Structure 1
Amino acid sequence: MKIFNPYKALRTLAAVVILLCVLVPLSMMVTLSLNPSEENILINMGTLHAFIPETVSLQNYKEVLNDPYQPFARYLLNTLLVVFCTVGAGIFINSAAAFALAWGRGGYRKIYLMVIIAVFVIPGEALTIPLLLLVSKFGWIDSYQVQIVPFIASTFSIFLFYQFFSKLPQELIEAARIDGARLFQIYFKIGFPLSTPVIATVSILGFLDAWNSYLWPLMVTRGTEFRPLGVAMAAFFGTQQAYWGNIMAFAVLMTLPIIIVFLVFQKYFVTSVVGSSVKG
């Protein structure tokens, strides 16, 4: 006979509540996006029919994808380019910097680590205006590089990689040094391949951050040529006069890549989080 565990029941209840908080808005978004009638959507708002599809139509999605004034395909391409360049370059640069801080030689490492932690606690918004003035001097306004280069280096990513690399067995690193391997060779052949869970975590968090970026792209992009989805969503909302079916279809299309990325990397993400909690 199993003994009732109130703590386990409470955790289960909390998980169910959190799940509902996530799924209920998603179900409403999908349901409204499949409804081609704006009048019917307004009637169903605030009722159970807003969460359960009565009709299924892809009309709203066709209108979003074929809108000549708000080219979704262009926005998607811009966002994918910015996200993959930022996250991809950031993984190598931040992990290499973290490995040097963990296993490099010299007293500079502790100073750099203190600076990184200090920068990490500074709100990003506080650096927005100085950064904007700097990129303006470079002539980068309304370009891809202005959305990529300033965000490749991440203090949070460096700290995550540093936490992982600093826990590697010292005997493993020393053995590689005895064999004549240099620091970069040790990083490339030992450190980087072992850091897959951290790479997955940094990839997911970096992907979410870059994908949902709004304030900075809003300040540095001027038209549709370089505009990402985050800014395009706000512009689309303003030009559609609250046509909720189209807006929800746009939101679903913008959300799908995030869900796919998380489903692909969730195994490594959970492994990294659990491993960090055990080691911490």
Structure 2
Amino acid sequence: MKRSARGVLVLALKIVLALVFGLPLLFMVVSSFKPDTQIFGDLGGIQAFLPVGDLSLDNYTGVFDRVPFAQFLLNSVIISVTTVVLGIIVNSMAAFALSRMRMPGRKWALGVVLATLIVPFEVMALPLLWEVNQLPYFDGAHIVQGWLDTYTVQIVPFVANAFSIFLFYQYFDSIPKELDEAARVDGAGWFRIYRTVIMPLAGPAVATVAILTFLPAWNQYLWPLMVTQSEAVRPAMVGIDYFKQLNTSWGQIMAYASIITIPVLALFVAFQRSFVNSIASQGLKG
């Protein structure tokens, strides 16, 4: 009897959580097909979450008419995917050195890396802006000063990530070190051990870092707003500001938000099993 009551309670809690997180998404998607007058008219009832009334694709076509959405979306994909790929390589190599290689001070180095997590990005934004504006940049023809208004300034500052290093470190630390010793007996160096022994076993950690790196890269708003001026390099999140100018169209905003949410959901669905396995294994270890 107690087990059945507990099961009902857990099920009810899951339903409540699903509604809390799912209803805003449902409202966003449903509202993207409605005109503004109907969106506000349906707010007082259940109709706000139902695809009823005057439904059309006008908001979606309006998105492409109002802003260069295809360019914004391409920019976000380039920035996010490049940040994820470089982040996995850089952070996994750093974590491998801290976890597997015997060198003095590695625990202190890990502590310093983790200490950077307490510093909010807003504190570093202005100093970082000054720094990237002093760096040389090759624009294809000659070297100029400053990275502003480029893909580089939106990618490089976010490749190294303390939390990603910590996740890789935790996962690498759980892999038996006897594998390293066996590989070194066969003549393998540290890079070969990293590439052929450790990384093939780190699939769940890679999936977790990929998701946790992609989300902030895709949702980045403040930094691109500070460092980009041309539409050629602006990501999708900054593009939503175009709908707040002059006459605000809430239906188009909902359509815009629905489209840019799809890649995030697709990534999570693709890596969901590995992500859950990684969290579960780290929880069991702890």
The TM-score, its normalising length taken from structure 1, stands at 0.94
Distance in 2 between residues matched to 1:90 and 1:145, nearest whole Å: 14
The letter of the residue matching 2:218 is W
Name the amino acid aligned to 1:208.
L
CA distance in 2, matches of 1:222, 1:176: 51
Question: What root-mean-square deviation, in Å, do the aligned CA atoms of Structure 1 and Structure 2 show?
Answer: 1.4
Distance 1:9 1:86, change over 3 A: same
CA distance in 2, matches of 1:9, 1:210: 39
Tell me which amino acid in the other structure corresponds to 2:236.
L
Query: Matches of 1:121 and 1:11 in 2, distance apart?
Result: 34
Secondary structure of 1:181's match?
A: coil
> What number of residue pairs does the alignment pair up?
275
Q: CA deviation at 1:240?
A: 5.8
Helix, strand or coil at the partner of 1:84: helix
Distance apart, 1:47 and its partner CA: 2.1
| 1:92 lines up with 2:99 in the alignment | no
Letter in 2 for 1:244: W
- Tell me how far 1:8 sits from its aligned partner: 3.6
Query: Which of 200, 207, 215 is the equivalent residue of 2:207?
Result: 200
Q: What is the CA–CA distance in structure 2 between the aligned matches of 1:251 and 1:144, rounded to whole Å?
A: 22
**Amino acid in the other structure paired with 1:243:** S
Q: Give the SS at the match of 1:174.
A: helix
Equivalents in 2 of 1:253, 1:191: separation in Å?
A: 37
Report what 1:105 is aligned to.
102
Return the offset for 1:17.
Answer: 1.2
User: Residue 262 of structure 1: CA displacement?
Assistant: 0.7
Residue 259 of structure 2 aligns with an amino acid whose one-letter code is: L
Q: Is contact 1:236-1:247 (8 Å) kept?
A: no
Q: 1:215 aligns with which of 207, 218, 222?
A: 222
SS of residue paired to 2:74:
helix
For the residues of structure 2 that align with 1:79 and 1:162, how far apart are their CA atoms?
29
Q: Do residues 9 (structure 1) and 44 (structure 2) align?
A: no
Q: Matched residues in 2 for 1:47 and 1:217: separation?
A: 38
Does 2:77 align with 1:71?
no
Residue 164 of structure 2 corresponds to: 157
Corresponding residue for 2:58? 59
Farther off after superposition, 151-160 or 9-18: 9-18
Mapping for residues 1-280 of structure 1, pairs under 5 Å: 3-35=2-34, 37-54=35-52, 55-67=54-66, 70-138=67-135, 139-233=146-240, 235-239=241-245, 241-280=247-286
CA distance in 2, matches of 1:274, 1:177: 31
SS at match of 2:175: coil
Superimposed CA distance per residue, residues 105-142 of structure 1 (whole angstroms, 9 cap, x where no aligned partner): 21032221111111122222221111111001120111
SS at match of 1:137: coil
Give identity over the alignment, percent. Answer: 44
CA distance in structure 1 between the partners assigned to 2:111 and 2:38 by the alignment:
58
Q: Distance in 1 between matches of 2:201 and 2:226?
A: 39
Task: Say if 1:75 and 1:227, in contact at 8 Å, map to a contact too.
Answer: yes
Q: Any conservation in 2 of the 1:99–1:162 contact (CA below 8 Å)?
A: yes
State the Cα distance separating 1:6 from its structure 2 match. 4.2
- Structure 1, unmatched stretches of 5+, are none
Distance (whole Å) between structure 2 residues aligned to residue 22 and residue 56 of structure 1: 24
**1:117 & 1:142 partners in 2: Cα distance?**
30
Of 94-103 and 4-13, deviating more is: 4-13
